[in-house]
Structure 1
């Protein structure tokens, strides 16, 4: 939801003394015109919401100042000079109807346009024929006013199709996240309007770039009242986060292999078969002083839940242990089930959603399979918890800190972020600024 903003704008052009002569389509052959917009003042632009699906844009009491040089040649007659053109009291009202195309992009068309000009004044100088031109001064100004009046709405309509519509396309429907995943932000339905906001429903669905299957989960219904103090109110459901986990799992990237690392600063633990001697003596005897490799993976998707108390989930991982033989082949040892509770803290930086995962308690272990007989998993609890906290968790948080792109058109960034957790969704409130 985006709230309209009204503001005043001033533009001034750079020096135009070295600009080339421009051939005017309506000027006689041999004629030329060089001009520059010296000032363009819009004191009070305004946007209003039209019922259901549109915007009305007002510009009132705008003014334009143009200066330049003119030259005209007809047969043996040649004339030229300087001019200053002042256009006052320009008002424009245009209606924009919003929609969406088959790809999920926002579309807009200009359905209505009205314009008005209070006055046009022209001052000619530096011409030998200035006295003659001044005789027709009023007629020239009236003619210019009629010409400009007829051009305004054509320029507005052309600008909507050639400038505004391509700009709306910069709000990417499919946004690349990394080498593995992308996120789909396509519109599920055309934008609608209320008294204060534009409202839109975006898909917000991650998918594996290598393959895209129908997902086994469905988005929840989100209901919230926009806060008029912010320009944007965005509901981000738990579906958004859970499709991210599914995409990484489908791609096979939710795995981490550990082996040969020093497990404590004082060298008390090393990941090898000598360490297993206490609870798997047969392994230590058969494979003396050989390396041990651990493969940590998520066998089932992690389901994140958003409650008013925050974002939480109960990750369940699996650790497979192998002996690494001298020829680099692997001998399976055992499989451990691991579970704990965790939370996710969410923040935003510019146009990216960032996060940090925090573990709520120690990992609880369960022996699911052993090729060399049962043993007490308590012997491995300290080691596994140490490994996860020092090697696995930092890798996850490194990825979360890089963040995930939020849907914004080019040249705009979020600012003044505020987050509120609700049932099944997170509410982001923010302002927008140009960059």
Structure 2
């Protein structure tokens, strides 16, 4: 293959990898109809308050009465006392977004009226009740250049079927004529103002709130999580899916991880309001980042051994299994460094989570001048299972070690029976290394949740290559946190 052909092939491969990376998320948030209904309850309550604050313009004009002449009128100080939305529902519109349908809404208003007819002047107040109001709102979902979700009103229609007015003041006989003259104008003004207020509320309230969904989350001094959207949210007939990158990255030196996320096919579960599909890619990017940063290197000396363990890390202890240590390095403390040659990858399947790490165990004798003398290098393999849970919006984990297997990679102290060290390494792994790892995993990794959302009724399920977390949500208004 020529240099030009090789360059073309490499370019095509890079393009394919880039497309594959863009098409598959590492993390999926699915909102079910139950979740949308819950959000809709809070949204409608807020919209009622918004619509009750509508300001309608003054109306003025004239009309003619047969044998009487022209009558001029003014309607002023229109004020809503309430706006009620008793019946409404939210529905998914596949490939479009969301639709909110409101029926049988009603509002109550009051205001002042004034008329002028030849030499006659009249004025008074009125109470008005608008009934059988129908509102239909379509919401378009998308994402911006930073990967944050966006929401906007793509369509809004309002239809008013009934307007009842009670006038007080002189010239009540003009009521019917007066009402017919202003009814259509008032209806159009209110219909226009309702949709105007809906659009404004979506832009000023709903849009800023959905953008509280975190795009990145700092974990510690080493890593962060990228939760940016890889595509606009997708509405289907059953749910709203939000595809996120779901990738750990280094805070010091962000680079592309050398593997791709697999496709996630979430099951059609709908018992919870929200589901999180967490791929093995999500966890394995964490392993890759921490390994590259050197954070998966653990040093063990006597100072870190818990007091309750009857064990001393010194050549006297090991000489029972390696007699030559007593002659070469008598009565010296030791240091053990545990590291992974490569990032350990987590496997997720229907039976749960597991990993099979390979750990290098380098031992040293600490000489009187504090320098280190290498003793031997072991390779440890074993089965580790993981238990996953969600607490306070964080994915937390707990590792359990199964059977361990040792082999000798190199020795500076001659040959010895490696199997004899099995019990010592079990102590180091189970009582020192594992608690340190579990302590970190207990701190957890944050789920991508917008502000003031708490999870409850959590379930955890396992599928091929991904973890499925289901939960109900509770919204905590400001002031109740």
1:334 aligns with 2:361: no
**Residue in 2 aligned with 1:381?**
422
**Residue in 2 aligned with 1:75?**
none
Aligned residues: 410
**Residue in 1 aligned with 2:141?**
98
**Residue in 1 aligned with 2:366?**
324
Distance 1:262 1:56, change over 3 A: closer
Task: Describe the SS at the equivalent of 1:365.
Answer: strand
**Residue in 1 aligned with 2:398?**
356
**Residue in 1 aligned with 2:454?**
413
**Residue in 2 aligned with 1:3?**
32
Question: RMSD between aligned alpha carbons?
Answer: 3.6
For residues 164 and 145 of structure 1, what CA distance do their matches in structure 2 show? 27
Of 429, 439, 453, 1:398 maps to 439
**Residue in 2 aligned with 1:243?**
285
1:341 deviates by: 0.5
Distance 1:264 1:118, change over 3 A: closer
Distance 1:41 1:120, change over 3 A: same
User: What's the TM-score once normalised by structure 2's chain length?
Assistant: 0.74
1:175 deviates by: 1.8
For residues 365 and 125 of structure 2, what CA distance do their matches in structure 1 show? 89
Task: Describe the SS at the equivalent of 1:390.
Answer: helix
1:271 deviates by: 1.0
Which whole-Å deviations, capped at 9, do the CAs of 1:253-284 have from their partners, x for residues lacking one?
Answer: 11221111486878753112222333445544
Question: Within 5 Å, which residues of 2 pair with 1:194-233?
Answer: 194-233=236-275
1:142 deviates by: 6.7
1:186 aligns with 2:228: yes
Distance 1:390 1:66, change over 3 A: farther
For residues 245 and 343 of structure 2, what CA distance do their matches in structure 1 show? 20
Distance 1:147 1:256, change over 3 A: same
Query: Which segments of 5 or more consecutive residues in structure 1 lack a partner in the other structure?
Result: 14-22, 71-80, 125-129
**Residue in 2 aligned with 1:110?**
153
For residues 191 and 322 of structure 1, what CA distance do their matches in structure 2 show? 55
**Residue in 1 aligned with 2:121?**
none
Verify the 8 A CA contact 2:274 2:471 in the aligned structure 1: yes
Task: Describe the SS at the equivalent of 1:399.
Answer: helix
Task: Describe the SS at the equivalent of 1:116.
Answer: strand
Which whole-Å deviations, capped at 9, do the CAs of 1:99-152 have from their partners, x for residues lacking one?
Answer: 22222222223221101234566889xxxxx73698888578776554332211
Distance 1:353 1:65, change over 3 A: farther
For residues 213 and 133 of structure 1, what CA distance do their matches in structure 2 show? 80
Which whole-Å deviations, capped at 9, do the CAs of 1:300-355 have from their partners, x for residues lacking one?
Answer: 11121112111111111111112223443322222111111011111222422222
Task: Describe the SS at the equivalent of 1:147.
Answer: helix
Distance 1:373 1:91, change over 3 A: same
For residues 408 and 45 of structure 1, what CA distance do their matches in structure 2 show? 26
**Residue in 1 aligned with 2:315?**
273
Query: Which segments of 5 or more consecutive residues in structure 2 lack a partner in the other structure?
Result: 1-29, 50-54, 60-75, 113-123, 477-481
Of 281, 291, 303, 2:333 maps to 291
Higher helix share: 2
Distance 1:266 1:422, change over 3 A: closer
Distance 1:62 1:326, change over 3 A: farther
Which whole-Å deviations, capped at 9, do the CAs of 1:216-249 have from their partners, x for residues lacking one?
Answer: 2221222243223332233222111111111111
**Residue in 1 aligned with 2:297?**
255
Which whole-Å deviations, capped at 9, do the CAs of 1:16-62 have from their partners, x for residues lacking one?
Answer: xxxxxxx99979xxxx9898x76553222211222313211122223
**Residue in 1 aligned with 2:351?**
309
Which structure would you say has the larger RCO, counting Cα contacts within 8 Å and 6 or more residues apart? 2
Verify the 8 A CA contact 1:263 1:383 in the aligned structure 2: no
Distance 1:88 1:271, change over 3 A: same
Q: Which has the larger displacement, 320-329 or 379-388? A: 320-329
For residues 65 and 39 of structure 1, what CA distance do their matches in structure 2 show? 5
Of 98, 101, 104, 1:55 maps to 98
For residues 271 and 428 of structure 2, what CA distance do their matches in structure 1 show? 46
Distance 1:159 1:10, change over 3 A: closer
Task: Describe the SS at the equivalent of 1:319.
Answer: strand
